[in-house]
Every structure is written in structure tokens, then in C-alpha cells.
Amino acid sequence: MSVEKRVIKKYPNRRLYDTATSSYITLGDVKQLVLENVDIQVVDAKSQDDITRSVLLQIILEEENGGMPMFSYEVLTQFIRFYGQAMQGMMGPFLEKNLQLFGQMQQKLQEQTRAMYGDKAVFNTTMWGEFMKLQGPAIQNVMSSYMEQSTGMFLEMQNRMQEQTKQLFSGFTFPGYVPPGKDDAGKS
């Protein structure tokens, strides 16, 4: 059973209209809906095109321009470099899976905190920030280990794909192609 998405219309004057509440909302309100795990769809009121991704990217841009950006220069330039590359189609699912795993890790940390301190413990952003300062190196080590494993799996998958591609195309001959190890006359 699919959950119906909350439709938000974006008008030419750049105003956003929430069809569920029959009222105009701000980009901050859209962000809040996302934080509350509300499935949304933003459509252009005139063309009916789905513009959800561009609105979500706009929210990310505003967050990045705020106090503490999440993406470094290096990460952003790597994103740009992946566009148009052979592995572009795999990058999205790879990042999505890693973000899911990161979210699960965060949820387990919160569950462990509740188990240790009970439901009445109030951990606001400041307290989590202090906790992360103290535990940062340990968490960084866990994340580094995880990223090494993730990178290893990605490279292994890439190598398997290359081998499968070689096997798939090994029976075909391509004009002008000289396999490695053969000279121009086709001799070994």
C-alpha cells in the first residue's frame, strides 16, 4: 500500500501552497515537514511538473549557507565530478544506502542513551554537541572503519562488474581494437 504524498504547489511568484492545510507556507515549513517524516511532493502550479528535488536542494543550499555546513569543498567537487561518469547511476543508491546505515547507527546511539538515562533525560542540541566533543574521536574511528569497509565493498563490486563486462564482450570482435599483449599484426 502506497502512502499518498502531501502536495505542495509552487506558484510563479515563488510562493508555496500546502494543499493539505489550504495555506501558504515557507521553505522553512517544508523543511519542518521533512523533519517530521511527512512524504511531500512539490509541483509547479502552472506546468504540474514535479519539482520536489529542486525544492529539497534549495533547502540543503540554505542549510549549507547557514552556520555549520555539512559538505566540504572536496565533497561538493567530487559530486560534480561524478556527473556524466560511468558510475553516476550507482552513486545515488550508494549514498542512499550509506545514509540509511548512518541513520540506523544514530538511532541505536539514541536508544542506548535512553536505556542508560531513561526517557526523562533531556538531550538537546547543546548537550549532544558536548557529548560529541567528548566522544568525537571514538565515533570518528568507528566512522573511519565503516567507510573503509564501505569503500572496500564498492571497489569489490566495481571489480566484479568489470570482470563480468569483460566476459560478456570477450566473444565480440571490434574493428580496430587490438587486445592487450598483441602487436599490430595480431601476433602474441
33 lies in a domain? Answer: yes
18 lies in a domain? Answer: yes
Task: Tell me what the pLDDT averaged over the chain comes to.
Answer: 81
8 lies in a domain? Answer: yes
User: What pLDDT does residue 135 have?
Assistant: 67
Same domain flag for 4 and 65: yes
87-143 pLDDT per residue, tens: 788 888 888 888 888 788 778 877 777 777 766 655 555 666 666 666 667 767 777
Which helix or strand (DSSP H or E) is residue 44 part of?
strand 40-44
* Tally of structural domains, the chain: 2
Find out whether 50 and 56 touch, Cβ atoms under 8 Å: no
43 lies in a domain? Answer: yes
Last residue of a domain, one of 39, 72, 105: 72
Same domain flag for 63 and 126: no
Tell me which residue range forms the domain holding 12: 1-72
pTM (two decimals): 0.62
Strands 6-10 and 40-44: parallel
| The three cell numbers locating residue 181 | 599483449
User: What pLDDT does residue 56 have?
Assistant: 95
